[in-house]
Structures are given as structure tokens and as C-alpha cells.
Structure 1
Amino acid sequence: MNRSKKRKINVVTLGCSKNLVDSEHLMAQLSDNGFEVVFDSNDTDADAVVVNTCGFIGDAKEESIDTILGFARAKEEGLIDHLFVMGCLAERYKKELKEEIPEADEYFGVNDLSAIVRTLGGRYRDELAGERMLTTPGHYAYLKISEGCNWGCGYCAIPLIRGRHVSVPMEKLEAEARALAGKGVRELIVIAQDTTYYGLDLYGERKLGELLRRLCRIEGIRWVRLHYAYPAHFPDDVIGAMRDEEKICPYLDIPFQHISDAQLRSMRRGLDRAQTYALIDRLRREVPGIALRTTLLVGYPGESEADFAELLEFVEKVRFERLGVFPYSEEEGTYSAEHLRDDVPEEVKRRRVDAVMALQNRISRENNLRRVGCIEEAIVDRREGAFLVGRTRCDSPEVDTEILIETDRELAPGTFLRVIVTDADDYDLYGRPAER
């Protein structure tokens, strides 16, 4: 890149929080090299734009391609000078993207941060590998503890894109978490493609429970929240840590995907219906008040009406606090694409998605209404008009319920306060500060 031109770089991140962390690491390196770095900006006054893409499912691919095309047009019009593309879509479809969108200067995979920095005219510093330029509000941050995945679920392309599971050494994660706490982060959200596998490659055994306990010892961190826990062979020590450690939120993002034994076998999930129900029962018994978030997949090859009826019964019976559902889309190279026929019509997939969400909307509203009258600890995220907008220990940012706190008090984001819940609807709570 011509160093005599503007040294402003816009990093645009698409997809999941794991991508967000990659962008934050890249931005820290660029900032250290003297670049002015902005993120997720639609402005076109930057010298270069870096698009960090998602390539997980069809909709995410489409969004990534549309974003690249938009900045490619801006480059052709002379509004930006350089366009670089990184991330999952670029990792998986680099050859095709180069042919279809040659306007991009270069495409980089998921592990090419140092190459991106060099191409932009900077020097990658290994000693800054744990540094982050936060794009989240300053009071919470994601902590990515590993890369890749070893499970090989039938529908999932992540191992093809990001490779096998590689854990980050515990000492590096502790140092990164301490640095985040020093910047004012009060809530750590622990993420990976599969957090429960953590440590097996480095230490010969799963170490997530120990890692969570160590994170709880870091001064300044008030909440630790766990995402993306794989349900098969769920580690006992994680349940123990969640039960014993006050800082660990009673919250777990655990994607079950289905409940039918036939579907679970075909998806290659590594557990069955009975084990699923047993794990849920144990989590709720040993971690009282735990909020469970799950993800379901409908329309997978061979899903019968009986399988789907079983899934609806599962949702009704378990009454998840949080739930998302996606229709199956065939991903080339995966087990299901290679060995199974995509035999559920698209209109049936959509109807099943709608049926699950209609049921979950009712359950969510009923769950929320039961919280009316309760006093809960909340963290303030922002102000909107007459309300402070926050979250309880049972709610993760961006994806879960928010609590709208009616008060004229001015409290900074990241402030904790006790709130009495006064009303609720499907996906929001309402409250006011509780008297001490």
C-alpha cells in the first residue's frame, strides 16, 4: 500500500463474535503501526477497507458477498483506494472470489493476520498477539479461548474452514483477560467453536473448568459468561465451577440442534435423546436458576414429521430461556452434502422454523412474566431516552433479552445495579432501580 496516501483503515466485521475478536486483534496491530483505524464504518474516506467475512451458512455468505461488492464499487468510483478481504468466506472460496470479484486487492484466510498487516505496509509484532482494540462497549469483551473444531458434525463446515481444535495456552488467556480488565472490562464472554473441548490438545485433558476459575480470580472482572458449549461429554468440572463461582453467570449457550435420535445420529452429534435430557436436568439441578440458550436446526436431510413433532415437544418440555432456529442449508464438503440428500422442501423448512419460533415466543413471554416482581442484578449497556438499557446475569449482549430501566439517574455503561422487574413482554423486561 502506498504509504504516502491516507493512513486510515476501515475494518468491517461480519458474522460471529469469534470473527469480531480476530478483527480486534488485527486492529491493535494496525494501530500500533500508526494507522488510524475505524470499524464497521459505511464512510468511504479511508485509504483501505478490510472486510472480515463469514462463510458459515447461505445467508451469511450472501451478506459477505454483498458487502464486498459494495466496497468494490466504491473502489471503482475512486472513493477508496484499496480493498482487502479476510475471514471464513475468503478462506474457503479464495479462488472463486478472485475470479468473480477481482476488484479486491487481495484475499486472506482466517490465520493470515500477519500477512494482512505486512500487505498494508505495517510490521506484525508477535509480542502484541494478545492485544485488542475493542469494538464492543468498553465494559464487556469476548475472550476466544481456542480455534477450530474436532467434532465433524454432519452439517458444519467450520472444521473445513478453521481446521482442527487448537487451544490458547491458559497463561496467555489470563494475561489477555487481565489486560481487558485493566481497560475497564467488567464482563468476560468466553467463546470458541467449542468451549468445552478446551485444553485437551495442550494438557491431555479438558481444562475449561480450571480456566473459568482462574478468570474469576482476576481483579476487576465481575461477570464471566460461557458461550458455545458442546453438549456431548460435557465436563463435570464446568458444572462445578458454574455452581461454586459467584462471578460465573448462571447462563449457558449450548446448541443442542435436535432431540430425535435418528436426527442426532445423522447429524453426528455424539449424544442421544436420553443423554440430552439428562444433561439439561443436571444443569438445572446443580446450577439453580440457570438460563439455557440453545440453537436448533430444522429441515436436515431425512427429518420426518415425527422427528419434527419430537423437536416441538422438546421445546415445550424444556422451556429454554433463549432459543434460535435455522433451516438446514447444504454446505459443500460436509458429511451431509457428500452422503445425504437434501430432501426436505424449502417451504417445509420455513414452516418448521416459523412453528418453532411461534412456540418459543410464547414460552419466552411466559418465562419473562414469571420474573415480574423479582429483584435482579443488571449491568447498564447504554441510555435510550427515558430508559437505561441493561441486561441481567441471564442475558448476553446482542442476542438476548434487555431490561429497560425507567430512571432519570445518569449511570455510566458498565455500572451494576439492583433492579426490580415491573413488567415483561416476549423479549424485553421493564424495571426500576430497587431500593437498597
Structure 2
Amino acid sequence: MKTRSLKKDKVNIITLGCSKNLVDSEVLSGQLAAGDIDVVHESTKKDHNIVIVNTCGFIDKAKEESVNTILDQVEHKKKGRLDKVYVTGCLSERYRGDLESEIPEVDAWFGTMELPLILKRFDVDYRAELLGERLLATPQHYAYLKISEGCNRTCSFCAIPLMRGGHVSKPIEQVVEEARKLVRMGVKEVMLIAQELTYYGLDLYKKRELPRLLHALADVPGLEWIRLHYAYPSKFPLEIIDVMRERPNICNYLDMPLQHASDNMLKAMKRQITRVEMEDLIGQIRDRLPGICLRTTLITGYPGETEADVEELKDFLQRMRLDRVGIFTYSHEENTSAYAEEDNIPAAEKEKRAQSIMEVQQEISYEKNQDKVGQTFRVIVDKKEAGRYLGRTEFDSVEVDNEVVLHSERKLKPGEFVEARITKAYDYDLEGEVI
């Protein structure tokens, strides 16, 4: 009897979680394609017979989404729409033993560092010479560039080291070569990602070498924008800001997760910094690079957090007037040091606190955006959606920050840079006329 397996396999990769996972999926796609395997990313055509789910295991909501996605794909397999379902990524790394018994229909489970083992399932050998070769899941004009793996920090709430291991930097030459390949593919903007950017180089070069890496990347011809994500504030090397000021193709943008501003919470979270030190750091950064856009991420609802802690966080935001803020509600994660504490704040209260904090930031964002009306900015065109062109300034990263609705008398192309005069401003978005 003929079966679907007689046809050439077609693999669909589904990616959940952060941009670091997305890069892993792109690398996996590139390796499969080099092995003559037909591969797509999050295809809606349903003409594939194998699915690889790249999971996230960071917080409860992400884990739930990952499990539900796996179960959906298993259901497709049961109905004969799929031949194989494979699972990789952080959830698989962290809970493989439990998941294997709970969802036996999955054909194989892989950890975060087991790419060669996944490839073996397709009779494909891992090819080290494909360094930087990826099938981009992003639009052609921007890409994420991972400069290191893992983390040596011991933040009490974070399970990332359990899933990704300790910090391992990529050599500068390797990162630069990957950037060159991305530019040859049409990429104009790279977003540098790591669990902890500022730690870069300590393992390889015995000192923090992000400034040297930035200079090397800024020299890559055709790389128009370089953007920095996920910098740890404790012992922050201010030389990074000097490089940003000196090199025009490094965006005046820094994503620096602070997590909280109450000293009680910062100590409990093992953040190795105080509120006063954070305020001093922000002041020094702004002194060295006036006009820099500072983005942060916060956590509310951590065990023992009081209303006074929340009010202190709001006061910090009002004083510091950060440009971009995201917030998570605390997730009680096994095998973290915080897990020994009682998760004593109800989910509804966590959400209420998050909402009240974001209301403070919403007002700050609105006021900062109003200040941009009448000014002209260089904007990268991302896409045309619902008849409108959407782009970003150098102060905005993909998906998480503001967009600029562009009004233009001529046709615009994704990846094109334009000058736009801002005509209207809202809480989180802008409108502008292309000059």
C-alpha cells in the first residue's frame, strides 16, 4: 500500500518563544536545506508531512503555549495529516523526561544543543562549514544575530541557565562573518542578541569585549543598523556607549532589562545592583549619549512584593522616564532559587499591578512621542499592511516597540530607508510624511 512516506519529506518548523529560538530554527532550516530536505517555517499551506516544534520553557504562559502547540500537531498526526512530530528547544530540554511519558505520540525529543541529533533523523550530517548560513524567518531586510549562548548570572527567578547552560561567546571573527553573510542575503539591520550582552568575551578573551565586537561589526559594508538587546545593568561597561556614539550605524538604542526598582525586590531577585546604582548608571549613559533610547523589562508579583515596592517602581519610572518598557508577571519556576519562596500573590493581583505600572509608562510614552511631532527621522520601511506603510526609527526594535505609519506619494519597498517628518503621535505609535 502506498503511503505518504514514499513522497519526498517536507518539514515545517514552528518556533515559539524568543528571538534566540528563532535563530536556532533558522540555523536548523539552513542545515536541513543543505542536506536537500525541503523545509519551511510556520507554513500555512499544510503540504508538509513532518513538523518540528521549537519550544519555549521560560514562564508558565510560554510553557502552556508550547504544550498546546505540541498537542495540536500530535492531533494532526493522529488524523493522518502528518507522518512525524519532533520537539526541540527549551521546554524539551527542561522537561523531556516528563513529556516523553505524557505525550508518547511525539516521535523524538531534543534539547537546546542537539542540532546534530535532529539532523540525523533526516540522514543529514551537521556541516560546520555552513557557519552563519540560515534560512531567514524574518523579512529579508533585518535579522537577529546571536553573539553568545547561555548565561552565568544567578537571578533568582530565571530558569534560562537550566535550559541553555553557562555563557559561551562566539569568537569575534565568527560573528563578523555571520554578519557579512546576512548582508549578502539582503539584511540591512541586525539585532544583537544574547542572554547577557555585556558578558560577551569574558570566557574567550578574559575580559569584556563587546566594544571590540561592535567596532568590528560597524566596519561591515552594507550593515546600516546594529541594535543591542539584553544588556545586564550590574557592572555595565560604559565603553559600549562610547562606541555607540562613535559609530553612526550602531543605533542609539539599548535594551537593558532592570526587572525592578525596589531595593527589597532587587536583592531578593539577586540582581547585584541597587536603585541608586541603576539611576546613576542611566544618568551616565544619557550623559555620554544624549538622546539614547532606553528600553527595559520589568517583573511584578515576585514573592513578597508589597504595594510599597510597586509604588517605588512607579516612582522610578516617573523619575527616569525610560523610553520603552515591557512587563512580565512573575512565574514560579522549578529549580530556581525563588522556587523556595511561597508564590504568595494571586495571578489576578499580579495582572492588576502590571496594568497599573504600564499605565504610568503609557503616559510617559505618550509625552515622549508628542515631543517628536514636527521632527524628521530616518525610518526603515518594514512592510505594507492594510494599505499602509509601516516602518521604524532607530529608536524602535521589531515587534516590541513603536511603529511609524508612513504616508507617501510614491511606492515604498521593505528595507528602504526614508526621511519622514512626524505629523501625529499616539501612546505607542507615530505617523509621518515621507519627505
What range describes the TM-score normalised by the shorter chain of this pair?
A: over 0.9
Q: Distance in 2 between matches of 1:44 and 1:104?
A: 19
Whether 1:293 and 2:295 are equivalent positions in the alignment is yes
389-398 or 119-128: bigger deviation? 119-128
The equivalent position to 1:170 in structure 2, one of 160, 166, 172, is 172
Task: Report deviation, 1:238.
Answer: 0.7
Partner of 2:350: 349
Identity of aligned residues (%): 49
Do the aligned partners of 1:45 and 1:80 also contact (CA within 8 Å) in 2? no
Q: Distance in 2 between matches of 1:216 and 1:409?
A: 31
Do the aligned partners of 1:403 and 1:429 also contact (CA within 8 Å) in 2? yes
Partner of 1:44: 46
Task: Report deviation, 1:387.
Answer: 2.5
Do the aligned partners of 2:11 and 2:48 also contact (CA within 8 Å) in 1? yes
Task: Report deviation, 1:5.
Answer: 3.0
- Tell me the alpha carbon deviations over residues 197-218 of structure 1, each in whole angstroms, 9 at most, x when there is no partner: 0000000000001101110000
Task: Report deviation, 1:348.
Answer: 2.0
Partner of 1:156: 158
Partner of 2:417: 416
Partner of 1:26: helix, strand, or coil?
A: helix
- Tell me the alpha carbon deviations over residues 243-263 of structure 1, each in whole angstroms, 9 at most, x when there is no partner: 211111011111001111111
Partner of 2:76: 74
The equivalent position to 1:26 in structure 2, one of 25, 28, 53, is 28
Partner of 1:127: helix, strand, or coil?
A: helix
Partner of 1:143: helix, strand, or coil?
A: strand
Q: Distance in 2 between matches of 1:344 and 1:80?
A: 42
Task: Report deviation, 1:146.
Answer: 0.3
Q: TM-score, normalised by structure 2?
A: 0.97
Partner of 1:432: 433
Task: Report deviation, 1:3.
Answer: 7.0
The equivalent position to 2:231 in structure 1, one of 229, 232, 247, is 229
Partner of 2:262: 260
- Tell me the alpha carbon deviations over residues 178-201 of structure 1, each in whole angstroms, 9 at most, x when there is no partner: 000111111011000001100000
Task: Report deviation, 1:171.
Answer: 0.6
Partner of 2:399: 398
Mapping 1:310-389, distance limit 5 Å: 310-338=312-340, 340-389=341-390
Q: Distance in 1 between matches of 2:61 and 2:411?
A: 39
Q: Distance in 2 between matches of 1:276 and 1:302?
A: 22
Q: Distance in 1 between matches of 2:42 and 2:170?
A: 27
Mapping 1:135-284, distance limit 5 Å: 135-284=137-286
Structure 2: runs of 5+ lacking an equivalent: none
Task: Report deviation, 1:42.
Answer: 3.8
1:214/1:3 CA distance change after superposition, 3 Å: farther
417-426 or 406-415: bigger deviation? 406-415
Q: Distance in 1 between matches of 2:17 and 2:387?
A: 32
Q: Distance in 2 between matches of 1:43 and 1:411?
A: 28
Task: Report deviation, 1:50.
Answer: 0.4
Partner of 1:229: helix, strand, or coil?
A: coil
Do the aligned partners of 1:291 and 1:394 also contact (CA within 8 Å) in 2? yes
Task: Report deviation, 1:385.
Answer: 4.2
Partner of 1:67: helix, strand, or coil?
A: helix
Do the aligned partners of 1:386 and 1:406 also contact (CA within 8 Å) in 2? no
Task: Report deviation, 1:386.
Answer: 4.2
The equivalent position to 1:86 in structure 2, one of 73, 83, 88, is 88
**Which runs of 4 or more aligned residues in structure 1 lie more than 4 Å from their structure 2 counterparts after TM superposition?**
none
Partner of 1:419: helix, strand, or coil?
A: strand
Whether 1:57 and 2:95 are equivalent positions in the alignment is no
Task: Report deviation, 1:68.
Answer: 0.4
Q: Number of paired residues?
A: 433
Q: Distance in 2 between matches of 1:3 and 1:377?
A: 51
Partner of 2:123: helix, strand, or coil?
A: coil
Partner of 1:231: helix, strand, or coil?
A: coil
Do the aligned partners of 1:3 and 1:121 also contact (CA within 8 Å) in 2? no
199-208 or 123-132: bigger deviation? 123-132
Q: Distance in 1 between matches of 2:43 and 2:105?
A: 20
Q: Distance in 1 between matches of 2:259 and 2:327?
A: 8
Q: Distance in 1 between matches of 2:23 and 2:199?
A: 19
Partner of 2:18: 16
Do the aligned partners of 1:88 and 1:109 also contact (CA within 8 Å) in 2? yes
- Tell me the alpha carbon deviations over residues 208-235 of structure 1, each in whole angstroms, 9 at most, x when there is no partner: 0110111000001001000001111101
Task: Report deviation, 1:407.
Answer: 1.3
Do the aligned partners of 1:9 and 1:37 also contact (CA within 8 Å) in 2? yes
Do the aligned partners of 1:44 and 1:74 also contact (CA within 8 Å) in 2? no
> Residue type of the partner of 2:212?
E
Partner of 2:54: helix, strand, or coil?
A: strand
Do the aligned partners of 2:238 and 2:285 also contact (CA within 8 Å) in 1? no
> Residue type of the partner of 1:142?
Y
Do the aligned partners of 1:5 and 1:47 also contact (CA within 8 Å) in 2? no
Q: Distance in 2 between matches of 1:81 and 1:45?
A: 12
Partner of 1:252: helix, strand, or coil?
A: strand
- Tell me the alpha carbon deviations over residues 342-398 of structure 1, each in whole angstroms, 9 at most, x when there is no partner: 222323211101101111111111111110000000000111244321100100011
Do the aligned partners of 1:49 and 1:84 also contact (CA within 8 Å) in 2? yes
Do the aligned partners of 1:231 and 1:256 also contact (CA within 8 Å) in 2? yes
222-231 or 278-287: bigger deviation? 278-287
Q: Distance in 2 between matches of 1:66 and 1:55?
A: 13
Q: Distance in 2 between matches of 1:204 and 1:426?
A: 44
Task: Report deviation, 1:36.
Answer: 1.4
Do the aligned partners of 1:6 and 1:46 also contact (CA within 8 Å) in 2? no
- Tell me the alpha carbon deviations over residues 74-113 of structure 1, each in whole angstroms, 9 at most, x when there is no partner: 0000001100000000000001111111111000000011
Q: Distance in 2 between matches of 1:348 and 1:79?
A: 42
Q: TM-score, normalised by structure 1?
A: 0.97
Q: Distance in 2 between matches of 1:196 and 1:145?
A: 11
- Tell me the alpha carbon deviations over residues 133-154 of structure 1, each in whole angstroms, 9 at most, x when there is no partner: 1111100111000000001100
> Residue type of the partner of 2:239?
D
